[in-house]
């Protein structure tokens, strides 16, 4: 599948948001809900496989105004479409089909969801906005982008916002070329993250870039500044800083936090950390 193709984001977003829903209703359904549903056993939705489903995709990317050109495989001339017809199937349970109106009216009403990361998070943000646009094409919505790079897609009638903050490293990069320093122990974007009810983070791809493609000139860890270091070591230090920030600043009873990992050479949703 083309890297950044919208359908990848669609499926990943579905898994993420359904997991949020499952967490919200888990306590109510564990011993039988008020709806008379039978008790539900725990299901690990991360164990499963991709299955073919001819009823997919859930929207036509050509009809969505929010996908950037470089992420739109169909508009860029990709001739095949079978790759669009796959969904995630957990081994031990069935996931409900994504319902955009239910998502807006019940799950996310009065709430904010924020994607934070690189183009993978951007892709998923665009995919989710396309899903919602397809579900409620006549609903009043606004799309804005601030000078700081925060993109916000809002539904005023539901008091709901889906946001994207481009932050490929999660930790700080300060200064200007040729003296840009990546500080592995510092996070200054946290005040923005605190405004969301659901946070979805990712960080990996840009850690491997070198020379002209790397957006920094030196790395600082503690009081030591070096020209470069083992990227996996730097990544681990930065992610430990991020995890520490989450532990110290996020109340898991109020805010759900997800981190998208990298495995088998493909983008996949990792475990929820809160």
49 located within any domain = yes
Residue 50 has φ and ψ, to the nearest 5°, of -85, 130
Dihedral in degrees, nearest 10, Cα atoms 12, 150, 173, 196? -60
Instruction: Indicate if the pLDDT at residue 157 is higher than 90.
Output: yes
Mean pLDDT across the stretch 258-272? Answer: 56
Domain of residue 153, residue span: 6-267
Chain segment 72-121, per-residue pLDDT in tens: 888 889 999 999 999 888 898 888 888 899 899 988 999 999 999 998 89
Q: What is the DSSP letter of 211?
A: G
274 located within any domain = no
Q: Quick one: pLDDT band at residue 270, thresholds 50, 70, 90?
A: very low
Contact partners, residue 235, CB within 8 Å, separation at least 6? 203, 204, 207
233 located within any domain = yes
Q: Which residue has the higher pLDDT, 120 or 244?
A: 244
Cβ count near 27 (within 10 Å): 9
Q: Alpha-carbon distance 258 to 245, whole Å?
A: 14
Domain count, the chain: 1
182 located within any domain = yes
273 located within any domain = no
272 located within any domain = no
């Amino acid at each position: 599948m083309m890297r950044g193709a919208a359908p990848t984001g669609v499926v990943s977003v579905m898994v993420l948001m359904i997991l949020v829903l499952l967490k919200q209703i888990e306590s109510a359904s564990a011993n039988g809900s008020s709806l008379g549903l039978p008790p539900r056993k725990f299901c690990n939705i991360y164990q499963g496989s991709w299955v073919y489903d001819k009823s997919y995709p859930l929207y036509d990317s050509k009809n969505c105004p929010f996908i950037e050109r470089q992420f739109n495989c169909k508009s860029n001339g990709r001739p095949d479409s079978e790759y669009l017809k796959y969904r995630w199937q957990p081994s031990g349970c069935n996931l409900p089909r994504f319902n955009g109106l239910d998502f807006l009216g019940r799950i996310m009403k009065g709430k904010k969801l924020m994607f934070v990361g690189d183009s993978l998070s951007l892709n998923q943000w665009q995919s989710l906005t396309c899903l919602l646009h397809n579900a409620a094409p006549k609903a009043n919505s606004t799309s804005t982008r601030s000078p700081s790079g925060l993109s916000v897609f809002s539904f005023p009638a539901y008091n709901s916002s889906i946001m994207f903050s481009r932050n490929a490293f999660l930790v700080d990069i300060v200064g200007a070329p040729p003296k840009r320093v990546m500080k592995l122990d510092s996070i200054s974007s946290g005040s923005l993250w605190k405004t969301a009810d659901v946070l979805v983070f990712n960080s990996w791809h840009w850690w491997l870039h070198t020379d002209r493609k790397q957006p920094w000139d030196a790395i600082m860890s503690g009081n030591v500044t070096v020209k470069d270091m083992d990227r996996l070591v730097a990544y681990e230090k930065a992610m430990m800083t991020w995890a520490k920030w989450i532990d110290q600043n996020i109340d898991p009873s109020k805010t759900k936090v997800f981190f998208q990992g990298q495995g088998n050479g493909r983008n996949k949703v990792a475990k929820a950390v809160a």
